[in-house]
Amino acid sequence: MIEEGAPMLKIEKLSRKQTILKLSIMFILLFTIITLLSGITYALPNYEIDSYPDDYTPNPQEILLINDTGTIKGLWMGNSSGVFYYNNTTSSWYKEIDGGLKTIAVQRAIDNSTTNENTIIVGEGAYDGTLNIDIDDLELKIHGNRPTIDGLNSFYTIQISSDNATLEGFRITGADSNGIYLRGINNTIKNNTVQYNGQGIALSTSSNNSIINNAVQYNSWHGIAITGSCNNNFIANNTVQYNSFFGIWILSRNNLLENNTVCYNEDDGVYIASTNNTLNKNDIYSNKGHGTNIHTSSDAHVGSNNTLINNNMHNNTYSGISIGKYYQATVGSTNNTLINNNIHNNTQYGIIVGEDCSNNSIKNNAIRNNTDYGIRFFGSNNLLKNNEFTEDGLFLESFDNIIADNTVNNKPLVYLKNVTGEFVDKAGQVILLKCNNITFKDMKIENTDTGVYLHQTNDTRFYNCTIRDNSYEGIHLRGQDNILKNVTIVEHGSSGIEILGDNNTVIDSTIRDNGRFGIDTRGLNNILNNVVVQNNAADGIALSGRSNIINDSTIRDNGRYGIDIDGLNNTLNNSIIQNNTENAVYFRGDSNILVNNIIQYNKANGISYSGSNNVMKMNTVRHNREYGICPNRYSYPNSFNELKHNTVQNNSNGIYFNDNRGVLHNNTIEDNTLNGVILSGSDNEVSHNTIENNTDSGIKIYSSFGSTLESNTIVTNSIGINLIKSASNIFYQNTIANNTQRNIQSMGPPNYWTSPDNITYSYEGKEYTSKLGNYYGDYDGNDTDGDGIGDTLNYTIDSGNIDTRPLVLQWEEITKSSSTSDTFAETTEQDSNGRTSVGPSIPPEAVDITNSNIKSVTGGSNVKYDFSDSEGPVMGISFDAKDNEGNVVAKVQVLKEKPDDVDEPSGKSYRVLSMSVGSEGTINEDNADNILIDFKVSWNWIKENDIDPATIHMARFHDGQWQDLPSNKVGEDDKFLHFVADTPGFSLFSIIGDEREAIEEVIPEEREVEEVADEPASEEESAKTPGFTALFAVAIIAGAALLTRQKSNR
């Protein structure tokens, strides 16, 4: 070690070669003396300080202070024993500080510098401690390998409080707060690695700095933080990555970020809560927040008037660019410009503009493949122009923006506002705001966000369109009286169709393979007719509201329910619901109607319901894994629901009926693997059901009181009736026979086994009045008085359950008197509560074409059903309604052939049709005037069958015979003749024409002419000559031909 008082070396002025030679000898001599005298093991070099040769290579451990002419003015070195300084006056080494941190040597160089001694060169190695650069115009650089300066958990590792300083080439780490803490102006930070600090680089009231080509990474807070009053800084070519919050945090103005790579940060890549900053040519990707977040965090930090140009924003967890505000701020982020950016593959949005964020300009950007939306607008008065969306699109939550000249997948983004009467046949995406009577036809919209978005838009038509593979919804429809016909809506990230409005129609369409619901409809009087809804991830159809109709549809293979209905007076008619993962039909609400549906092979229940006054009628419910029909879980009690004429078979349990005052009538319940019927609740009416071949009980009655079971057939089950904790129920006129284990099993209090009142009936030609019991297959008593009632023996079930009037025959074999009526007679499905009137359906195998439509029929209105787009011959049905009939379905079915039980009509039949408007009698001459049917007939058929057009008319089959209807030709085109027929009602119809009648050719009788020799004929005689007769015959034939031609042209 160098000891204090060691011999000093005198520096003489010599020639360059002499100086070098002499100094070399002196250094060798000095080293030898020091080694001998003090035993030092660490060699410190000597220098000729006033000269700094160009080829000089410093010792790796040195810290050099160099003036502005390149001359070494100071030399320091630090190690574990202290800090050494080479005195350039005495040409000697001194230990300035005993022990301490190596950074003290660097700090000593800083402290000894002046404005003319402006470069400090630091050697390689690890330096523990902090540095404070408070000398203007100072450059702190390195030689050798990159030195590491470790702040040892201090507030900062390097603080620069001076101006015009340069920090270059260091690895800076270990600060609790700031790796580099900038507090001056016009400083340059470049080529450093700043890592494992609190914040990497922090600026505080520090402006006009350049931060260039640094790696700022793995810091536990922000990478670069530009706080308040830090303006006009230049941040370029940095890599800012893997920081635990924002990559770059900006709270000041007029800063320029250019050519930076900002990636893999735990929050936003760049966060801006200030004004007039510019981001140019940055690559900002794979951050766990937004790529760039322009944000108003408070009224003091407003994100406005910033410019983002030519940046690449991609693969960020939220959006590529967010323009937004903190919810407590009173103003939003405004007047920002986004231009020529490439924004793609972000997990949520390409760009999101939040509430109260206005007057932002988004132009000429390329936006593609963002997962949710390309752009989502909540704010107003923004400009969106000349942007290119690829496999992306626009979603609006606000409707006062300027949107023009954008494309989606190289097709126009059709954005219309307050427009009426447009026709569109090409679009990459459709957005309509407050429009009317817009027609879209033959379009294909795919690979955008929401394919079609309608807001407060009415009377718009979509025909023959395909909308597929969009990342959110296929069609979002908010409006009234819109029609979707022959549309295919498939493979969307969310629902296929969302309807928020009234009186909309989806007809003849396919909706499948969507990521949520097939159809989500909320409103009134919406119609889904002849739709196929399948393979959707959640419900096939989610319907809420009232008076909606699902008709003639197929709903299958959906991931949750086939149909979820929540509301009032909705109708499900003539549809097939099968192979759904949970319940086929799940509904909650009152006065809903399920009629004539096939519900099968679902993996939970067929129909699951709750509410009151619902009607389930003429459905086939079979092969469902759990219940055929049952109440929703936790829905007890329900009331006044009616199950009629259903076939329920091959389910686990057939029907679970827990109503109060409900009706179970004329159902067939068979071949279920457990129970046919489970009955609970009170005061229910169970009548005329056939319950057979169920593996466990035909009817299991559990906690049921006061219900009536009448005229049911309960046979060939294991147990016919199984009574558990049930009392005061009434059983009469039932057939309970041939059940394999026992006909009746009772485990509880008494019930009543005869009718409550006398019934008048006839048997074996005699009339009797008596209370009646039930027929039991194992009854052993006799009927001694011939009244059909066993009178020698009661039928005893247990001590509390005895039938004192058992029947000796099944009730079907005993004839009732005419005065007895069926307690549960069928009623029409039309009532004053707005239920829908639906007519009968022809079996599908007999039908060639089916078309249906629905209208609200009110008294005094002219009602028109339009079938003009159908392939069938009927173009429309119209009438003047006299009464309010509610929603009425008109159905036209073109039959493959005439039914066998109907006579041939007179004439040549063009087509046979079944037509109904509501249920029977809903629309006829008593409650409607001017009932007209528009129909058409093909010219090809007329010509091929030699039909006389004047004979074409429509006939109606009514009261067992064909009745010709008044029919008038109203027009023609190159393919069809058009007619109107007047009908008094609806049933079976035929369009008829007669073949042309054959016209006999008139040939005049040839007369004999007597020859008169040698006398010329007179004029009168000339008329009788053969030549004259022939001419006369030709004239007659020509006239006949002319008449024939005129007749054919009529």
**Which residues, 6 or more positions from 260, have their beta carbon under 8 angstroms from its beta carbon?**
235, 236, 237, 238, 239, 240, 248, 282, 283, 284
Q: Which of 746-750, 771-775, 830-834, 898-902 has the lowest mean pLDDT?
A: 830-834
SS3 671: coil
Q: Which residue ranges make up each domain of the chain?
A: 1-123, 125-229, 758-776+789-796+804-821, 844-993, 1002-1050
Task: Please report which confidence band the pLDDT of residue 844 belongs to, taking 50, 70 and 90 as the band edges.
Answer: low
Calpha distance 140→120 (Å, rounded): 5
Calpha distance 515→490 (Å, rounded): 9
| 91 closest CA partner among 177, 185, 139, 22 | 22
Q: Nearest 5°: phi and psi at 784?
A: -85, -25
Q: Are strands 411-417 and 188-190 parallel, antiparallel or unpaired?
A: unpaired
Q: Which residue type does 469 have?
A: D
Q: Which residue has the higher pLDDT, 558 or 840?
A: 558
| 898 closest CA partner among 976, 830, 962 | 962
pLDDT tens per residue, range 916-948? 998 777 888 889 999 999 999 999 999 999 999
The H or E element that residue 174 is part of is none
- Out of 87-101, 232-246, 467-481, 923-937, give the one with best mean pLDDT: 232-246
| 773 closest CA partner among 752, 747, 744, 751 | 752
Cβ neighbours around 912 below 10 Å, total: 22
Cβ neighbours around 22 below 10 Å, total: 15
Contact yes or no for 349/324 (Cβ under 8 A): no
pLDDT tens per residue, range 372-389? 899 999 999 999 999 999
Helix then strand then coil, % of the chain, to nearest 5: 5, 45, 50
Whole-number percent of the chain with pLDDT over 90:
67
Contact yes or no for 447/424 (Cβ under 8 A): no
The H or E element that residue 952 is part of is none
Q: Which residue type does 1025 have?
A: T
pLDDT tens per residue, range 777-829? 999 999 999 999 999 899 999 988 999 999 999 988 875 433 333 333 333 34
Both structure tokens of 969: 């030709």
pLDDT of residue 997: 75
Q: Which residue has the higher pLDDT, 853 or 315?
A: 315
Q: Which of 139-148, 575-584, 771-780 has the lowest mean pLDDT?
A: 139-148
Per DSSP, 124 falls in state: S
Please say whether the dihedral angle defined by the alpha carbons of residues 49, 54, 59 and 62, taken in this order, is positive or negative. Answer: positive
Q: Which residues sit opposite 592 in a β-bridge?
A: none
540 pLDDT higher than 90: yes
157-160 LR contacts (CB < 8 Å, sep 24+): 157/130, 157/131, 157/197, 158/130, 158/131, 158/132, 158/133, 159/130, 159/131, 159/132, 159/133, 159/183, 160/133, 160/184, 160/187, 160/189
Calpha distance 540→512 (Å, rounded): 8
pLDDT of residue 487: 97
Q: Nearest 5°: phi and psi at 965?
A: -105, 145
Both structure tokens of 997: 């009648």
Mean pLDDT for 266-293 is 97
Mean pLDDT for 438-466 is 94
Q: Which residue has the higher pLDDT, 960 or 510?
A: 510
The owner of tokens 């067939």 is: 668
Task: Please report which confidence band the pLDDT of residue 107 belongs to, taking 50, 70 and 90 as the band edges.
Answer: confident
Both structure tokens of 385: 């122009």
- The fold adopted by the segment(s) 844-993 is Chondroitinase Ac; Chain A, domain 3 (2.60.220)
Contact yes or no for 607/630 (Cβ under 8 A): yes
Mean pLDDT for 886-906 is 87
Distance from chain centroid for Cα 329: 32
The mean pLDDT of the chain is: 85
Mean pLDDT for 8-30 is 45
Contact yes or no for 647/619 (Cβ under 8 A): yes
pLDDT of residue 742: 94
**Which residues, 6 or more positions from 453, have their beta carbon under 8 angstroms from its beta carbon?**
395, 396, 429, 430, 431, 432, 475, 476
Mean pLDDT for 429-454 is 94
Contact yes or no for 120/110 (Cβ under 8 A): yes
**Which residues, 6 or more positions from 628, have their beta carbon under 8 angstroms from its beta carbon?**
599, 605, 606, 607, 621, 622, 648, 649, 651, 653, 654, 655, 669, 672
Q: Which of 90-94, 319-323, 569-573 has the lowest mean pLDDT?
A: 90-94
Residues in the chain: 1050
Calpha distance 589→566 (Å, rounded): 6
Both structure tokens of 992: 């008829």
Terminal C-alpha separation, the chain: 131
Q: Which residues sit opposite 639 in a β-bridge?
A: 612, 660
Q: Which of 573-587, 742-756, 850-864 has the lowest mean pLDDT?
A: 850-864
Calpha distance 91→94 (Å, rounded): 10
Q: Which residue type does 167 have?
A: L
Task: Please report which confidence band the pLDDT of residue 89 belongs to, taking 50, 70 and 90 as the band edges.
Answer: low
Task: Give the burial string for 535-557 (b: 16+ CB within 10 Å, else e).
Answer: bbbbbbbbbbbbbbbbbbbbbbb
Q: Which of 181-190, 381-390, 748-757 has the lowest mean pLDDT?
A: 748-757
Both structure tokens of 364: 């000429």
Mean pLDDT for 423-452 is 94
135 pLDDT higher than 80: yes
Contact yes or no for 417/435 (Cβ under 8 A): yes
Task: Please report which confidence band the pLDDT of residue 835 belongs to, taking 50, 70 and 90 as the band edges.
Answer: very low
Backbone torsion region of residue 49, taken as left when φ is above 0, otherwise alpha when ψ lies between -120 and 50, otherwise beta: alpha
Calpha distance 406→913 (Å, rounded): 49
11 pLDDT higher than 60: no
Both structure tokens of 265: 């940060």
pLDDT of residue 643: 96
pLDDT of residue 516: 95
Per DSSP, 1027 falls in state: H
Calpha distance 942→925 (Å, rounded): 32
Calpha distance 711→9 (Å, rounded): 131
Within 583-676, residue ranges assigned H as helices are none
Q: Which residue type does 586 have?
A: Y
The owner of tokens 């950016």 is: 341
Q: Please tell me whether the peptide bond between 840 and the residue prior to it is cis, using omega within 30 degrees of 0.
A: no
1015 pLDDT higher than 50: no
pLDDT of residue 117: 64
pLDDT of residue 910: 94
416 pLDDT higher than 60: yes
List Cα–Cα distances, 748 to 62, 64, 705, 804, 1009, in angstroms: 104, 106, 12, 19, 118
Calpha distance 230→181 (Å, rounded): 12
SS3 605: coil
Q: How many CA atoms lie within 13 A of 937 on its CB side?
A: 31
Q: Which of 294-308, 511-525, 672-686 has the lowest mean pLDDT?
A: 294-308
pLDDT of residue 686: 97
Task: Please report which confidence band the pLDDT of residue 1023 belongs to, taking 50, 70 and 90 as the band edges.
Answer: very low
Q: Which of 165-174, 181-190, 968-977 has the lowest mean pLDDT?
A: 968-977
pLDDT of residue 58: 52
Cβ neighbours around 814 below 10 Å, total: 20
pLDDT tens per residue, range 566-614? 999 999 999 999 999 999 999 999 999 999 999 999 999 999 999 999 9
Calpha distance 978→970 (Å, rounded): 6
pLDDT of residue 297: 85
3 pLDDT higher than 50: no
The owner of tokens 């810290």 is: 63
Both structure tokens of 290: 């937004």
Both structure tokens of 63: 């810290």
Mean pLDDT for 873-892 is 87
Backbone torsion region of residue 1000, taken as left when φ is above 0, otherwise alpha when ψ lies between -120 and 50, otherwise beta: beta
Q: Which residue has the higher pLDDT, 490 or 62?
A: 490
* Strands (E) located in 356-487: 361-363, 366-368, 373-377, 383-385, 388-390, 394-396, 402-404, 407-408, 411-417, 423-424, 429-433, 439-441, 444-446, 452-455, 461-463, 466-468, 475-478, 483-485
Per DSSP, 846 falls in state: G
Contact yes or no for 956/906 (Cβ under 8 A): no
pLDDT of residue 54: 42
pLDDT of residue 210: 98
Task: Please return the burial class of 128, using the count of CB atoms within 10 Å of its CB with bins 0-12, 13-18 and 19+.
Answer: middle
